[in-house]
Amino acid sequence: MTQPNAMYEDFVVNSIIGEGSEFIGEFKVDGLIRIDGKFKGLIDTKGKVLIGKTGVVDTDIRARIVVAGGTINGNIYASERVILLSTCKLYGDLVTPTLVVENGVFFQGKCTINPHT
């Protein structure tokens, strides 16, 4: 059973890389990160990664949950779930126990659905 506090934490944004911003480096965060700008490097979180439709990332993403609406050049490793929104373009591999793909997604890579990720 999900605790009410845990559900609330899924919506609290700890860090934002806004539209028009660029960040290069390694980003480690325990909560939620939202990317609407450009990011190049490594993302590692036990929380959630949101990539808005204007977000462009050149990275491997390791997270519990990934919701993507922008462009990703790299691999996604999610321990719980990945949601690819209709505006998403993913150029890389994907490993997750649960995958949701909206109509219109562009995906070039391998997909591994693994309940033991």
Domain ranges for the chain, please list them: 4-113
Residue 3 is predicted with a pLDDT of 46
Gap between the Cα atoms of 112 and 97, Å rounded: 8
List residues bridging with 77 in a β-sheet: 62, 95
Give the pLDDT band (50/70/90) at residue 26: confident
What distance in Å separates the CA atoms of residue 87 and residue 71, rounded to the nearest whole number?
8
Q: How confident is the model at residue 10 (pLDDT cuts 50, 70, 90)?
A: low
Q: What percentage of residues in the chain have a pLDDT greater than 70?
A: 86
What's 8's DSSP letter?
H
pTM: 0.85
The sign one gets for the Cα dihedral 78, 32, 23, 27 is negative
| Rg of the chain in Å (alpha carbons) | 13
What Cα–Cα distance (Å) separates residue 15 from each residue in 11, 29, 47, 55, 90? Answer: 12, 8, 11, 14, 22
Q: What is the pLDDT of residue 18?
A: 75
Task: State the pLDDT at residue 117.
Answer: 55
Residue 80 pLDDT exceeds 80: yes
| 16 pLDDT more than 80 | no
Provide the pLDDT confidence category of residue 105 given band limits of 50, 70 and 90. Answer: very high
Q: With H, G, I as helix, E, B as strand and everything else as coil, classify residue 7.
A: helix
Confidence of residue 19 (pLDDT cuts 50, 70, 90): confident
